[in-house]
Amino acid sequence: MTIKRDIESRADLEKLFTDFYAIAMTDAKIGYFFTRVAQLDLQTHLPVIVNFWEKVLFGKPIYFGNPLFVHQQLHEKSPVMKEHFERWLEIFNETIDRLFAGETANKAKEKAVVIAKGLLSRLAD
């Protein structure tokens, strides 16, 4: 049995999100948001999402975007519903649990729930 280590660095976040998007982009429930609605260019998006999570988890002031605005744009093209956020969280948590364990990994899962609930409530307005 391999002992998993915690999320400790930008490289860990890059691994997390590379693996996450490999699953999410092909997922039957949410994959189309990435491939058809957002037409996500992973090479462009990956550094941005990693910056966001470096700020969330490590307090690094390197993300200055507006996640709500981005999700509002998606929502206008194709409604983002509670079940979509739930599936995102499910894949996110499974990816973390497969790769990492520890305080920061748990913090990431907790923050993701708060972020998802916040975005969902704002999109529903």
Residue 50 is part of which domain span? 10-124
Residue 3 domain-assigned? no
Residues 68 and 105 sit within 8 Å (Cβ to Cβ) = no
Q: Number of folded domains in the chain? A: 1
- CA-to-CA distance for 85 and 83, rounded, in angstroms? 5
Residue 1 belongs to a domain: no
Question: Could you tell me if residue 37 is inside a domain?
Answer: yes
pLDDT at 66: 87
Distance CA 55, CA 96 (A): 18
pLDDT of residue 1: 64
Mean pLDDT of the chain: 93
Q: Write out pLDDT tens, residues 26-73.
A: 999 999 999 998 898 999 999 999 999 999 999 999 988 888 888 888
**What would the mean pLDDT of 105-120 be, rounded to a whole number?**
96
- CATH code for the domain of 100: 1.10.490.10
Residue 120's Cβ-count burial label (10 Å; 0-12, 13-18, 19+) is middle
Question: Is residue 88 in a domain?
Answer: yes
The reply to whether 5 falls in a domain is no
| Residue range 96-103: mean pLDDT, rounded | 98
What is the DSSP secondary structure assignment for residue 5, as one 8-state letter? P
pLDDT for residue 13: 98
In a domain, 4, yes or no: no
Tokens 């941005």 -> residue: 48
> Contact at 8 Å (CB) between 52 and 65?
yes
Q: For residue 125, what pLDDT band results from cuts at 50, 70 and 90? A: low
In a domain, 35, yes or no: yes
Residue 2 has pLDDT above 80, yes or no: no
60 within domain boundaries: yes
